[in-house]
Amino acid sequence: MMNRAWIAVSAALLLAAPGAYAGVGQGDIEVGVSVSLVYTEIEFEDGTTTDQDSGVISASGGYFFNDMIEFKGALTLVVSSDVTTGSINPGVDFLFPTKGSTVVPFAGGSYGLAVGDFDDTDFLEVHGGIKYFFRERASVEVKLGRSEPVDSDFDVGHTDLFAGINVYY
C-alpha cells in the first residue's frame, strides 16, 4: 500500500507543470543538432587492442509533455576511418527547471536502433547535461552520455560528450 502511495505521489510531481523557464514549456517542440568527437579503445578476447577516432553528428527533435518531461527522437550518424553507421534513437528527458533560471539540468535515456554497416549493434544510452538558454527560444546544450550495446557480438560501450544548439517552437 505504501509503495502505491509513493508511486502516485511521484507521478503527480512529475506530471505537475511548474512555471516555464525561458519561455519553453508544455506543448513546445525542440529541434536541435549536436556533435561529438569520440575516441574508442577496443579490446579483443585475445588481449589485443585497437584505437578508433570518430565523429558523431546528431539531429534531434522533442515534444514537451509538460515543463519537466520531453519525449525525444534523434537521428545519429557516426563516421570514422573504418566504418560509417547510424542509429534512430527514441527516448525521454527529465528536466529540472528552476523558475527564472537560464540554466536547466536534465537527465534521460534512449534506445538506439542501429542502421548502417553493423547488423547487431542496438544500444541503450543514458545521459545527463545542461541546457543554457541564451535567448528565450534558443539554448546551447552540453550532454554526457554512456552507451552500452544490447545483444551484440562485440560488447564495446562508449562515453560521448556532445555540444549542440536547440531552437523551440
Summarised one tens digit per residue, pLDDT across range 109-143 is 999 887 765 555 788 899 999 999 988 889 999 99
**Domains of the chain listed by start with CATH number:** 2-168 (2.40.160.20)
List of residues 6+ apart from 117 with CB closer than 8 A: 83, 84, 85
Most confident of 38-42, 73-77, 89-93: 89-93
Render pLDDT for 2-53 as a digit per residue (tens, 0 to 9). Answer: 455 555 544 444 444 343 456 678 899 999 999 888 766 666 667 777 666 7
In degrees to the nearest 10, what's the CA dihedral of 60, 63, 69, 72? -30
